[in-house]
Amino acid sequence: MKVADAFNGQHLLLTGVTGFVGQAVLAKFLQVVRDAAQVYVLIRGKGDITAQQRFDDLVASSRMLGSSSEDSGVSNAELAELLRTKVTVVQGDLAAERGDGPPLGMSDSDFAMLCEKITMIIHSAADVGFTNPFAVALRANLLGTVAMQAFAHQCPKLNTFVYVSTAYVGSNSKESIMTPTAVALPFDVSSLVRAVEAGDEEQLSRYEHFMLGCGWPNTYVMSKVCAEGYLHQYQGDLPTLVVRPSMIGCSYWDEVGWNLSKGGPTLSTFAIGMGAITVLSNSRHSLDIVPVDYLANLIITSTTYFSQLPAEQRKRIHIHHGVMGLHRLQQKQYFATVVDHYRSSPLPGRMRTPRTKLCVDDNHLKLELMARYKIPLSAIEMAASVWPGLLKIKPVKQLKVALSKTLQLFDISMWVIQREFAFVAGDELHAMNQLSDPRERRLLHRDLADLDHDTYVRVFCDSIRSLMLPNKSRAQSKL
């Protein structure tokens, strides 16, 4: 299997390039395929800032797009030239309301041009906030996918549609083993789409409570579940591949330590380093944190593999996992390494020296949370109700904010820490192993068994320091 041959002469539409995964995919794609394909990136404008300006500021100047791998045979200057000549920026908006005009908020001319040319789509754009209101998550992740699929159906030359979802769509199951299979939704997704478009808050509230009751942990995961359900319901004859990443960490092989994600494991790891989180479950479970550069390589190889399957096999939706799988990190090892790293390489402005107490069980953890966070927060709030001026005292106000944010962080992250998620590989590893060209194997083939866990956790810690505290003096890593 040769990636350059699969993409030769293709016209690829890529969404999400201002984000973490999209930038990694674009960078590696240009280095592998070089000038064999034309790429179109859909970016929304922001106020007076055009899509092209946002691309120049956020993407073209990115560390990942500014430095080419030594194995690629593409110099940094050549990579910059590919960005200029082989990437076309199209202004649009996935959240644009559906109406009589062109979808995705595009101009008539851009819509007509893309419809006529596009042969492949990789849809990686998403709002990854775990605490978004349900309507906000659905508008970004469900309606955006609805619009992308509708657009894909209007492209007569389209041969491949790839949707980047999340591996946690099956987290409502009590089983720890997660297979790459479709998730059954017990309702018609089109009725939910209509409720979102109509702004029917009462109906949306019923859907939200129903899905939470079914066991899905947050509005982000629920919106991805609904998006996948819609893709299955309205697939028609559209050849569709779904890639499901687990939690995403910084790069490990390419541009080591590159990180744009301020959510997920980044936030909880940062809180430990700042001394905000001081108690954890003494869990024997694992954490599946996949390096973003490995994920980008997997998306490219999986897309190539899927695009070359016989037409009959492409009539059903294929699902690939973008995960660490058997090579996932052990929680106790991960948290111990984080504490050790931030003790030896302290974060500026930390609340206290990092330390974590491991609880015997979940009940012990609840008692510790009560004693360390909930009771002190309640005491401050009760005292402030008697003496309002208390919160004008800066240290008291800062403590209240820190306690509140830490409790919120526990609320949004405990679902993934207190149970095991063992993701089973699909055809994605087979796809990566099918690479036949030596250059492409050097660029794309990665064996997760070669990833040293201790080194990766420390690289991740340093990437978090650079991301969360970009303008403060930083102690050097003691790697």
**Domain span holding position 176:** 3-246+288-323+425-446
Same domain, 230 and 341: no
Same domain, 434 and 372: no
Banded pLDDT at 281 (limits 50, 70, 90) = confident
pLDDT average, residue stretch 198-220 = 96
Residue 311's pLDDT is: 92
Q: Where are the beta strands (DSSP E) in 347-434?
A: 357-359, 422-423
Answer whether 220's CB lies under 8 Å from 412's CB: no
Same domain, 457 and 434: no
Banded pLDDT at 475 (limits 50, 70, 90) = very low
Residue 391's pLDDT is: 92
Answer whether 237's CB lies under 8 Å from 435's CB: no
* Strand, helix or coil for residue 354: coil
Banded pLDDT at 411 (limits 50, 70, 90) = confident
Residue 157's pLDDT is: 97
Task: Identify the sign of the CA torsion 303, 309, 312, 317.
Answer: negative
Q: Is the pLDDT of residue 139 over 80?
A: yes
Same domain, 370 and 432: no
479 or 145, higher pLDDT: 145
pLDDT (tens digit per residue) in 297-313: 999 999 999 999 999 99
Percent of the chain with pLDDT over 70: 97
Same domain, 281 and 429: no
Residue 218's pLDDT is: 95
Same domain, 282 and 144: no
pLDDT (tens digit per residue) in 4-53: 999 999 999 999 999 999 999 999 999 999 988 999 999 999 989 999 99
Same domain, 352 and 438: no
Give the contacts of 334 (CB within 8 A, at least 6 positions apart): 287, 453, 457
Same domain, 359 and 442: no
pLDDT average, residue stretch 79-106 = 86
pLDDT (tens digit per residue) in 350-377: 988 999 888 888 889 899 999 999 999 9
Same domain, 353 and 461: yes
* Strand, helix or coil for residue 162: strand
Q: Which residue has the tokens 């200057």?
A: 77
Dist CA 125 CA 31 (whole Å): 21
pLDDT average, residue stretch 173-201 = 93
Residue 72's pLDDT is: 76
User: 209-213, 378-382, 417-421, 475-479: lowest mean pLDDT where?
Assistant: 475-479
Across the chain, what does the average pLDDT equal? Answer: 92
Q: Which residue has the tokens 């799988």?
A: 325
CATH of the domain at 48: 3.40.50.720
- Residue 345's nearest CA partner among 203, 474, 186 is 474
Residue 89's pLDDT is: 97
Q: How many domains does the chain have?
A: 2
* Strand, helix or coil for residue 29: helix
pLDDT (tens digit per residue) in 374-391: 999 999 999 999 998 999
Same domain, 132 and 31: yes
Question: In sequence order, what are the beta bridge partners of 248?
Answer: 290
Residue 474's pLDDT is: 45
Same domain, 211 and 189: yes
Answer whether 117's CB lies under 8 Å from 64's CB: no
The first and second tokens of residue 348, run together, are: 């500026």
Q: Is the pLDDT of residue 477 over 50?
A: no
pLDDT (tens digit per residue) in 1-10: 999 999 999 9
Residue 433's pLDDT is: 93
Please, is 323 exposed, middle or buried when counting C-beta atoms within 10 Å of its C-beta (0-12, 13-18, 19+)?
A: buried
Residue 100's pLDDT is: 61
Same domain, 281 and 337: yes
Q: Is the pLDDT of residue 472 over 70?
A: no
Q: Is the pLDDT of residue 478 over 70?
A: no
pLDDT (tens digit per residue) in 157-170: 999 999 999 999 99
Task: Identify the sign of the CA torsion 383, 387, 388, 389.
Answer: negative
Q: Is the pLDDT of residue 208 over 70?
A: yes
Residue 202's pLDDT is: 96
pLDDT average, residue stretch 428-457 = 94
Residue 186's pLDDT is: 87
Q: Is the pTM value of this prediction over 0.85?
A: yes
